[in-house]
Amino acid sequence: MAAVSTIKNLGPAYETACATAGIHSAEELRDIGADAAYLRMLNTGMKPHFIGYYVLVMALQGRPWNDCKGKEKDALRVRFDGLKGQTTSSPDSEFERMMNAIGTGTRR
């Protein structure tokens, strides 16, 4: 089994975040997919970061991290915001869901 950091654009920090979320190989990460893996990482307490999310998506597609632009990036932002709304680890996640529902939530 190959290490997570063998996937281009994912380094030691991503490997540590994945391991904390119970993902221990590049193959396992590919099988789980970007959204499910990122949600697992968020649920372990990792702070949400949009660039970190789309770096993962691009890496699993075998693309450079900075290849994400325009409408594709906008669509990934919607997916990212949805994942943040599903997280169970943040003490303020219910507050953020409520604020987002009324249109005043923080975009990160």
Contact between 28 and 58 under an 8 Å Cβ cutoff? The reply is no
Is 87 or 93 the better-scoring residue by pLDDT?
Answer: 87
Domain ranges of the chain: 4-101
pLDDT of 21-58, one tens digit each?
Answer: 999 999 999 999 999 999 999 999 889 999 999 999 99
Which secondary-structure segment (H or E) carries 32? helix 26-32
- Rounded CA-CA distance 17/96 in Å is 23
Tell me the whole-structure pTM to 2 decimals.
Answer: 0.79
Q: How many helices (H) and strands (E) does the chain have?
A: 6, 0
- Architecture of the domain whose range is 4-101: Orthogonal Bundle (1.10)
Q: Reply yes or no on whether the pLDDT at 95 is more than 70.
A: no
The predicted pLDDT at position 34 comes to: 97
* Mean pLDDT within 10-31: 96
